[in-house]
A and B are shown apart, each in its own frame.
Chain A
């Protein structure tokens, strides 16, 4: 790998990029998969979308397409107890983690080491740094004033996972409020609630595990 390519791939805030490598000649190219319309560029686009690296033949040459996607991101709304193990587990799984909670007493660095903390309102923060295709959002605050605006922002985004903590009853009430705000059934079906896989989770860490498992399932299957 040429130093210039490494530098481009490690630039802060770099978007999705593909390194195309011809192993026979050692030639390598850096491809922006969402602007390159050549046959190789289109193959790179498909590799970036599926997040799968591999070899492909284009114009009689074999290229290895190495996918360099931006990191996965998890946004937690509500710096509550469950958010603590979920943030740490998500960090281990390779996510960048952000926690949003306007209540200053909750979102403290001592409770969330290694995590970006935003002590503001979710709709304002998500308006400034929106969710992308590699983002997941989970609302945990139990407070519609905090959770609902975050869900509205997530539904307007291409986030791959949207989860909402709460019982079936809480969730039904939440869906009714959002429906009143103009979201249709297809939009509301994107929200996973009650959140997490049904593994009989009880403790905050077990619930966090069920959520991260469901996020992984949504991303990979």
Chain B
């Protein structure tokens, strides 16, 4: 239904591996609401967004790990994060993201 899921279906039809990352919860002024999704292909191609572009790189990396080991992951980002100087939300919000494989 969404462009992201349509793309995931097309990639799977091409026999590619796919992971899905979903915003589960947000606190403060997070840029994208719960339910926002990114689909990631095994070569790093992606569609969608879970933030204003601040944490997408880290999410895609986690998604590639999930494609490799078929395990779910949870990520949390916020300015209070230890990695804030590296990957964080400049807006001051906090988000939790669930990463899962899309498979049989």
Q: Which residue of the partner chain A has the closest CB to B104?
A: A3
Q: Which residue of the partner chain B has the closest CB to A68?
A: B1
Chain A residues, CB < 8 A from B25: 54-55
The bracket for how many chain B residues form the interface is 20 to 34
Chain B residues, CB < 8 A from A70: 1
CB distance A10 to B9 under 8 Å? Answer: yes
Q: Which residue of the partner chain B has the closest CB to A1?
A: B102
Q: Please classify the interface of chain B as helix (H, G, I), strand (E, B), loop, or mixed, using the class held by over half of its residues.
A: mixed
Q: Mark A168-205, 1 if CB is under 8 A from B, else 0.
A: 00000000000000000000000000000000000000
Q: Which residue of the partner chain A has the closest CB to B74?
A: A23
CB distance A67 to B35 under 8 Å? Answer: yes
Q: Mark B21-52, 1 if CB is under 8 A from A, else 0.
A: 01011000000011100000000000000000
Chain A residues, CB < 8 A from B102: 1-3, 6
CB distance A1 to B20 under 8 Å? Answer: yes
CB distance A2 to B98 under 8 Å? Answer: no
What's the least CB distance linking A21 to chain B, in Å?
Answer: 7
What's the least CB distance linking B65 to chain A, in Å?
Answer: 16
Chain B residues, CB < 8 A from A7: 9
* Chain B CB within 8 A of A59 CB: no
* Chain B CB within 8 A of A100 CB: no
Q: Identify 4 new A-B residue pairs, CB closer than 8 A, beyond the known A52-B33, A53-B35.
A: A2-B104, A23-B24, A64-B98, A66-B22
Which residues does A use to contact B, with CB under 8 Å?
1-3, 6-7, 9-10, 14, 17, 21, 23, 26, 52-55, 64, 66-71
